[in-house]
Chains A and B, each alone.
With several copies, the nearest count.
Chain A
Amino acid sequence: MKILYFAFLRQRTGLGEETVNAPDEIQDVAGLVEWLKTRGPGHAEALRDVSAIRVAVNQEFAGMDTAIAANDEIAFFPPVTGG
C-alpha cells in the first residue's frame, strides 16, 4: 500500500511517500499506525500522538478504525489549516 505524509509528519519521517507491504493481520488504520511506528525513530516520533493526526484512505477522510486493504492509498497529516 502507498503511504503519504504531509506537513510535520513528512518532516519527521523524512518521507513524502513510501510503498509498504504491511503484514496480513493489519486490517485497520490503528493497526497500520502501530506497525509504521516500528519502521524507525522518525516514524515513531511522527506518529506518537494520534490525537494530532488525521488520516485519509483513498483520498477520503477516515478514522483509526477504518478498514484498509493492500492497494489503498493512506495519507497521514495534521488537522488542515485551510488556505
Chain B
Amino acid sequence: MTVKVQREDFDVGAEIAALTAGRSDIGGVATFLGLVRDIAGDEEISAMTLEHYPGMTEKMLADIEAQALVRWPLDETLIIHRYGRLEPGDRIVLVVTASAHRKAALESCEFLIDWLKTRAPFWKLEETGQGEHWVEARESDDEAATRWNKTPAKAAQ
C-alpha cells in the first residue's frame, strides 16, 4: 500500500522483490511499467517534462489505491510515478499489484494504470523539433478510465 512520487528512477526487480519478500500467500504479481516513447501522436519527441501538484498528487494516488483495495482482494499494491524531465526509453510509472488470485492482480493493475494514465494530476511538456508544447488531455484515454465506473469488478464478485 505504497505511493511514491519522485524525480529519481526506480528498480522494477528490487521493488517486486521487496513486495513479495518472505510472503507465501501471494499467488500472482501483476506489473505495468510505463516508458517514454519517442513518438507522441504523429510527432517525434526528444524529451518530455512531467509537472505535478506536490501534495495533491500523492493524495489522489493514495485514494485510487484505496479504491483498488476495496474492489479487489489484494495483498500488496505499489505505485511509483516520476516527474521532471524524461527522455525516450526512460521509465515513467510503475504499478504493482499482488494477490492470492491472478485475476484480482491483473484487473486491479489495469484499473490503476488506466486511472494513472488519464486522471493523475500530471501535465506533460513535450520537446520536439518544432519546440515545446503542453500536451492536451486525450479523449480515448479518458474512455479507458471511465469504463471502470460502469463495470463491477469481476474478481470481487
**A adjacent to B, CB under 8 Å:** yes
Interface string of B21-61 (1 = CB under 8 A from A): 00000000000001000000000000000111101100100
Which chain A residue lies CB-closest to B59?
Answer: A59
The size class of the interface chain B forms with chain A is: 20 to 34
Main secondary structure of the interface of A (DSSP, over half): loop
Q: How far is the CA of A41 from the CA of B61 in the complex (A)?
A: 35
- Please tell me if B122 contacts chain A, counting CB pairs below 8 Å: yes
Number of A-B residue pairs having CB atoms within 8 Å of each other in the complex: 59
Answer whether residue B66 sits at the interface, using C-beta atoms and an 8 A cutoff.
no
Alpha-carbon gap, A80 to B121, bound state (A)? 5
CB-CB under 8 A for A82 and B53, given A7-B134, A8-B134, A59-B59: no
Question: Do A7 and B56 contact each other (CB < 8 Å), given the known contacts A81-B136, A81-B137, A83-B92?
Answer: no
* CB of A42 closer than 8 Å to a CB of B: no
For the complex, what is the distance from the CA of A81 to the CA of B134, rounded to whole Å? 9
Partner of B122, one of A4, A8, A81: A81
Task: From known contacts A4-B53, A6-B51, A59-B59, infer whether A80 and B134 are also in contact, taking CB-CB under 8 Å.
Answer: no
**Interface pair B135/A56, CB less than 8 Å apart:** no
Task: Across the interface, name the chain B residue whose C-beta is closest to A4.
Answer: B53
Shortest Cβ gap from A39 to chain B (Å): 21
Q: Which of A56, A78, A79 contacts B56 (CB 8 A)?
A: A56
Determine the residue in chain B with the shortest Cβ distance to A58. Answer: B56
Any A CB within 8 A of the CB of B105: no
Contacts of A56 in B (CB 8 A): 53, 56
Cβ of B150 within 8 Å of any chain A Cβ, yes or no, is no
* Distance (whole angstroms) from the CB of A4 to the closest CB of chain B: 7
| Chain B residues within CB distance 8 Å of chain A | 34, 50-53, 55-56, 59, 81, 92-93, 116-125, 134-138, 141
Residues of A near any B CB (own CB < 8 A): 4, 6-8, 10, 56, 59, 75, 77-83
